[in-house]
Amino acid sequence: MARKLSLEELHRISVQEFKEAEKLPLTVVLDNVRSQNNIGSVFRTGDAFRVERICLCGICSTPPHRDIHKTALGAEDSVEWKYYEESIDCVRELKEQGYKVYAIEQVDDSMKLDALPEQLGEKVAIIFGNEVEGVQEELLPLCDGSIEIPQQGTKHSLNVSCAAAIVLWEFFKILKK
């Protein structure tokens, strides 16, 4: 019969060990995400897959914040983050630093998440948009492409924190190789 693993058996690393550990060459950009709970969830998922950093843009709240901490459970202390007043400034900076930037958005020429190429670039950034409006239209021309999560239901949308978890897992599988 199966049993839950103890904290010792999980071999969790400390915040300091996390900061020193090799990171997935992936930066997450949150474009005007309004819910602190969603932001906290993205931090927690970013910690799980050891992303390089999270860029918080526009109306995103920043740590320390009680509601971010409620879902991040301390991941806001382990994952590096930076705030940008304007999302476009963040994307331009990433492009100047040699990142391939992809919007997670439903557009007419989006790639399906389950059909991503094995080579996405050495340094990759992915943008998740506002809970209602998605990724800002003005950011799309700056991106190297858009990626869409295939869906078959009636809503054709996911909560941003759920979408982030799905996308980060797929990128983890590709970029870890």
Tens of pLDDT, residues 69-104: 999 999 999 999 999 999 999 999 999 999 999 999
> pLDDT at position 106, please?
95
CB 31 within 8 A of CB 130: yes
Express each pLDDT in 44-74 by its tens digit.
999 999 999 999 999 999 999 999 999 999 9
Helix, strand, coil percent content, the chain, rounded in steps of 5: 40, 20, 40
Whether residue 97 is contained in a domain is answered as: yes
Question: Would 37 be classed as within a structural domain?
Answer: yes
Q: Is 80 part of a structural domain of the chain?
A: yes
Reported confidence tier of residue 177, pLDDT bands at 50, 70, 90: confident
CB 30 within 8 A of CB 56: yes
CATH number, domain with residue 40: 3.40.1280.10
Q: Please give the residue range of the domain that contains residue 139.
A: 12-175
Answer yes or no: is 110 within a domain: yes
Please list the residues that pair with 55 across neighbouring strands.
29, 82
Is residue 149 within 8 Å of 163, Cβ to Cβ? yes
Domain count of the fold of the chain: 1
Domain assignment present for 2: no
Task: Look at residue 47 and tell me if it is in a domain.
Answer: yes
Dihedral over alpha carbons 96, 81, 43, 101 (to 10 degrees): 0
Alpha carbons 130 and 109: distance in angstroms, whole number? 20
10 Å CB burial of residue 154 (0-12, 13-18, 19+) is exposed
pLDDT tens-digit map of 155-165? 889 999 999 99
Q: In this structure, is residue 75 part of a structural domain?
A: yes
Q: How far apart are CA 170 and CA 175, in angstroms?
A: 9
Residue 98 falls inside a structural domain:
yes
